[in-house]
A and B are shown apart, each in its own frame.
Chain A
């Protein structure tokens, strides 16, 4: 873990004093700017009410709830196999990643263990959904800065990954492929080779984005030193995933608290950045896509043989008890706390989704920034509204 740099401290103090300072220096009239609830930069329907003083934000308040669909209540009236259909749609860009922690928690309660091959295929699909999620972020970050071309590249190369997910599971977006005790099906013939081919395309895309955006002077001016989250603040707000790693927190659930999945057997690296600004968040994610592509290659090479489904009863009743399992989703740490009373449906499910904590830092982070930087900061924090509101 790294210490806070002097620049970060200065930014912190400046942000704290912004409202008082601006008012004393210049008598400007306040203005309220309403962003959303439908705005391209918010990745959905987040509304931000910003109090401005000139070009600077004095106070910004996020209004969530425009996409609240009542997940936690709905899970109480659905059986366990039906719930995976629902929770696919929490973070709609990386759907398969939402199923895995829930299934792992249910398996823990039922004391069922999925076969090794099923765990490896789960890990492959998990990483594919991470790639399909983060690729769109990498393209979209260009749009936040006024460069439209990267998002076309992102959509183009994302289709190759979606083709692989569709070939294996039958669904482009919402696979609903995970079952308690394993997977619905085995992989189709020739899938592993074509997946490795699509990973080459993903790596090419990362190189292209690096050439297009990361090295661009405009991009660096707009992102370096903007929206700095110091390490201690990131921990206080409960940031997780790439946002936390961009602030220098060396924590990854895949490496540090891996349950079931095949990550310990792979050769990969957790990337961190010490700056904590928008640029760092972008940089960490681009490295993460590369690592994911590397992991998928290794998983395809070493996939063990065997069955993909353990023996489970036809009608799934989960014995009474409580379990919490978290995994490292594309957006951060996502976990399900299941309380079961031995019925067909859970008694209570608490969903810990990454975006909610990541979004909660926006009032602190947007204080004192300029209006155009709101968009880049929101874009680089990268939340998905389904994941916030549930």
Chain B
């Protein structure tokens, strides 16, 4: 199945459905752990009690270039912001972003700090926000389930915007 067919938007509907279901249960998620939320993300992704792999999510790609989804978990500082932008640019289409925790959503308890970026959505587009400080692992799993539902019902041609991977 060539990507050209998907991008043109002329795919048959049944094929789109099949493609979406396959995509939603094979999400490769890149862990971008920054602060406290990184430990809860580790508990959700790497721990026996909350085992994310039963949702069809594979949490261990070696590089953002192999990932479909990135979880930005923790405080985004102004020093870190360009790095996150570059990470997002390196990911191939279609790409999704989950912002985990109050800091990544809106600045959280550091809303008046001079060095914290108030919300990662100022830098990259965010698909799902997971609230909490830090959110429990179950909350992150729910965010992933919401994202999977969205993937199942979307038009994939809108997600292949065809931006080239930026390599400097």
B77 near A68: Cβ-Cβ < 8 Å: yes
B83 near A74: Cβ-Cβ < 8 Å: no
Q: Which B-chain residue is minimally distant from A77 (CB atoms)?
A: B112
Q: Bound complex: CA of A37 vs CA of B40, how far in Å?
A: 20
Contact among B33, B48, B112 with A152 in the assembled complex (CB-CB below 8 Å): B48
A386 near B116: Cβ-Cβ < 8 Å: no
A159 near B49: Cβ-Cβ < 8 Å: yes
Contact among B35, B47, B109, B113 with A156 in the assembled complex (CB-CB below 8 Å): B47
Q: Which residues of A contact B47 (CB under 8 A)?
A: 152, 155-156, 159
Contact among A86, A89, A93, A172 with B136 in the assembled complex (CB-CB below 8 Å): A172
- The minimal Cβ–Cβ distance linking A299 to chain B, given in whole angstroms, is 25
- The minimal Cβ–Cβ distance linking A77 to chain B, given in whole angstroms, is 7
- The minimal Cβ–Cβ distance linking B41 to chain A, given in whole angstroms, is 11
Tell me the number of A-to-B contacts counted with CB atoms below 8 Å: 82
From 140 to 181 in chain A, residues with beta carbon under 8 angstroms from any chain B beta carbon are 151-152, 155-156, 158-159, 172-174
B114 near A73: Cβ-Cβ < 8 Å: yes
Assuming A38-B34, A152-B46, what are 4 further A-B pairs, CB within 8 angstroms?
A: A66-B79, A70-B116, A89-B35, A156-B49
Contact of B147 with A by CB under 8 A: no
Q: Bound complex: CA of A74 vs CA of B79, how far in Å?
A: 18
Q: Bound complex: CA of A159 vs CA of B49, how far in Å?
A: 8
From 253 to 300 in chain A, residues with beta carbon under 8 angstroms from any chain B beta carbon are none
Contact of B94 with A by CB under 8 A: no
Q: Which residues of A contact B119 (CB under 8 A)?
A: none
Q: Which residues of A contact B35 (CB under 8 A)?
A: 44, 67, 89, 92, 385-386
From 37 to 75 in chain A, residues with beta carbon under 8 angstroms from any chain B beta carbon are 37-38, 44-45, 65-70, 73-74
Give the size range of B's interface with the partner.
20 to 34
B75 near A67: Cβ-Cβ < 8 Å: yes
Contact of A85 with B by CB under 8 A: yes
**Interface residues of A, count at CB 8 A:** 30
Which residues does B use to contact A, with CB under 8 Å?
32-36, 38-40, 42-43, 46-49, 75, 77, 79-80, 83, 109-110, 112-116, 133-134, 136
Q: Which B-chain residue is minimally distant from A38 (CB atoms)?
A: B32
- The minimal Cβ–Cβ distance linking B59 to chain A, given in whole angstroms, is 12
B34 near A45: Cβ-Cβ < 8 Å: yes
Contact of A136 with B by CB under 8 A: yes
- The minimal Cβ–Cβ distance linking B39 to chain A, given in whole angstroms, is 6
Q: Which residues of B contact A37 (CB under 8 A)?
A: 80, 83
- The minimal Cβ–Cβ distance linking A171 to chain B, given in whole angstroms, is 9
Given A151-B46, A155-B46, A156-B47: A73 and B77 interface contact (C-beta under 8 Å): no
Given A45-B34, A386-B35: A38 and B46 interface contact (C-beta under 8 Å): no
Q: Which residues of B contact A173 (CB under 8 A)?
A: 36, 39-40, 134
Q: Which residues of A contact B39 (CB under 8 A)?
A: 92-93, 136, 173
Q: Bound complex: CA of A174 vs CA of B36, how far in Å?
A: 9
B42 near A155: Cβ-Cβ < 8 Å: yes
Q: Which residues of A contact B134 (CB under 8 A)?
A: 173-174
A66 near B48: Cβ-Cβ < 8 Å: no
Can you offer 23 A-B residue contacts whose CB atoms are under 8 A? Answer: A38-B32, A44-B34, A45-B80, A65-B77, A66-B77, A66-B80, A67-B35, A68-B77, A69-B75, A69-B77, A70-B110, A70-B114, A73-B113, A73-B114, A74-B110, A152-B46, A156-B49, A159-B43, A159-B47, A172-B136, A173-B134, A174-B36, A386-B35
- The minimal Cβ–Cβ distance linking A339 to chain B, given in whole angstroms, is 20
Given A66-B77, A89-B36, A155-B46: A38 and B115 interface contact (C-beta under 8 Å): no
Q: Which residues of B contact A73 (CB under 8 A)?
A: 113-114
Q: Which residues of B contact A155 (CB under 8 A)?
A: 42-43, 46-49
Q: Which residues of A contact B114 (CB under 8 A)?
A: 70, 73
Q: Bound complex: CA of A65 vs CA of B80, how far in Å?
A: 9
